[in-house]
């Protein structure tokens, strides 16, 4: 979507309010502060206010660090402010629905982190409300914004791998391998909705839809909780425990609308894996492989080449000819995790400024939520379930 820069004097200003100041709040703050400087955006960005549940002193320190002009400790006041055009939701999943619905009532554009909601019914309600409000909306599947993953989509659209036969995706981390890792909100189903399924497998589901254009039709799932209790205080492993009510490992097989099959796994117990977000797509004429830990590269196998020349090519997706120009740096220098948010937000701001359609939107978020819901139902019912 990125286009040439517009005349600066003619650019409108989009005023932003952020809700959340932890991991995703930092990612959003960095992106809103730098997107227009690093990528072509036909508007100005004003970081108007940040809101979070914290002391005013801590919140003000965060605002000063990242350049937010003011603070709020009540999200309802933030979304009602008339000096804000766009609400960026970086809060835990259980807060997505009330914040988004209220923001839409006030006619705000909304960027909401993934997964869109904690359950399918809430996601459907949010998507319908966004359509009715007539505003621009984004569901934060930021990995779409890596040049290499976008290049994979381009290759599929150009027919380079032909008919798709199968998809294999794995998202593996190890940050909760230690049984004494403290009980946090991500282990509580009431707050998080699910564990590795919604937290990281949602990315694999969206990447599949984005790259291949296929839709999931049927799944059979397996959800496992490996550590049922965790200390409420990580510094006191022998103290009171909290019950883990989400999955630690999510696995499922699937079928797609073109007859292809898929195999997916998401785990936060893969010792040694820090952010191993990978996907392989096998087709009649070739294959594609992408791994976020090598995010600047796309592996491409071309079966149509002469046999002596066949083999996976490692494409460094940092050329001007690649999606998003390969990033703002010279060829071969690569981009990092934070750039994916900058690209996502630059594209979203452009869509708002120009009144254009944007993806991934809430409908994409809803599509992913349908798969998450089907996997969970399948795991509970221990059978194949239609999406």
Domains of the chain: 8-143 (3.40.50.720), 147-294+296-330+360-386 (3.30.360.10)
Mean pLDDT of 72-92: 98
Per-residue model confidence (pLDDT) at position 234: 85
Nearest alpha carbon to residue 141 among 326, 292, 21: 292
DSSP-H helix ranges across the chain: 23-38, 56-66, 75-80, 96-105, 120-133, 147-157, 189-192, 196, 202-212, 337-354, 362-381
What is the rounded distance in angstroms from the CA atom of residue 196 to the CA atom of residue 189?
Answer: 11
Chain centroid, CA 385 distance in Å: 25
Q: Phi and psi (nearest 5°) for 279? A: -150, 135
Nearest alpha carbon to residue 380 among 199, 188, 225, 187: 225
pLDDT per residue over 282-337, tens digit each?
Answer: 999 999 999 999 999 999 999 999 999 999 999 999 999 999 999 999 999 999 99
pLDDT per residue over 238-267, tens digit each?
Answer: 999 999 999 999 999 999 999 999 999 999
Is residue 45's pLDDT more than 90? Answer: yes
pLDDT per residue over 2-30, tens digit each?
Answer: 433 333 334 699 999 999 999 999 999 99
The residues, any chain, with a CB within 8 Å of residue 246's CB and separated by 6 or more, are 186, 187, 188, 189, 192, 193, 194, 195, 196, 197, 225
Residues 110, 115, 121: CA angle, nearest 5 degrees: 90
pTM value is: 0.95
């Amino acid at each position: 979507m990125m286009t040439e820069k517009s005349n600066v004097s003619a650019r409108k200003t989009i005023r932003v309010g952020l809700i959340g100041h932890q991991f995703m709040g930092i990612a959003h703050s960095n992106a809103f502060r730098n997107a227009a400087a690093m990528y072509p955006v036909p508007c100005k960005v004003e970081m108007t206010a940040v809101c979070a549940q914290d002391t005013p002193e801590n919140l003000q320190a965060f605002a000063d660090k990242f350049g937010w002009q003011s603070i709020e400790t009540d999200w309802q006041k933030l979304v009602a402010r008339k000096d804000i055009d766009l609400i960026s939701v970086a809060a835990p999943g259980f807060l997505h629905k009330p914040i988004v619905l209220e923001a839409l009532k006030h006619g705000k554009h909304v960027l909401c982190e993934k997964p869109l909601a904690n359950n399918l019914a809430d996601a459907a309600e949010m998507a319908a409300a966004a359509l009715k409000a007539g505003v621009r909306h984004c569901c934060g599947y930021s990995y779409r914004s890596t040049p290499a993953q976008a290049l994979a989509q381009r290759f599929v659209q150009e027919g380079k791998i032909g008919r798709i036969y199968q998809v294999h995706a794995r998202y593996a981390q190890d940050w909760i391998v230690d049984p004494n890792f403290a009980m946090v909100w991500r282990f509580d189903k009431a707050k998080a909705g699910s564990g590795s399924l919604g937290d990281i497998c949602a990315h694999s589901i969206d990447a599949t839809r984005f790259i291949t254009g296929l839709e999931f039709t049927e799944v059979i799932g397996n959800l496992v909780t490996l550590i049922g209790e965790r200390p409420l205080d990580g510094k006191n492993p022998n103290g009171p425990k909290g019950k883990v009510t989400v999955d630690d490992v999510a696995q499922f097989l699937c079928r797609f609308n073109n007859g292809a099959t898929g195999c997916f796994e998401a785990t936060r117990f893969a010792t040694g894996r820090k952010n191993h977000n990978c996907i392989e797509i096998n087709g009649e004429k070739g294959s594609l492989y992408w791994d976020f830990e090598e995010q600047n590269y796309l592996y491409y196998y071309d079966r149509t080449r002469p046999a002596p020349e066949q083999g996976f090519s490692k494409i460094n997706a940092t050329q001007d000819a690649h999606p998003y120009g390969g990033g703002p740096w010279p060829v071969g220098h690569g981009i990092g995790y934070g750039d994916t948010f900058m690209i996502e937000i630059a594209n979203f701001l452009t869509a708002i400024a120009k009144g254009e359609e944007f993806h991934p939107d809430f409908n994409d978020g809803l599509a992913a939520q349908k798969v998450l819901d089907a996997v969970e139902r399948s795991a509970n019912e221990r059978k194949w379930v239609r999406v």
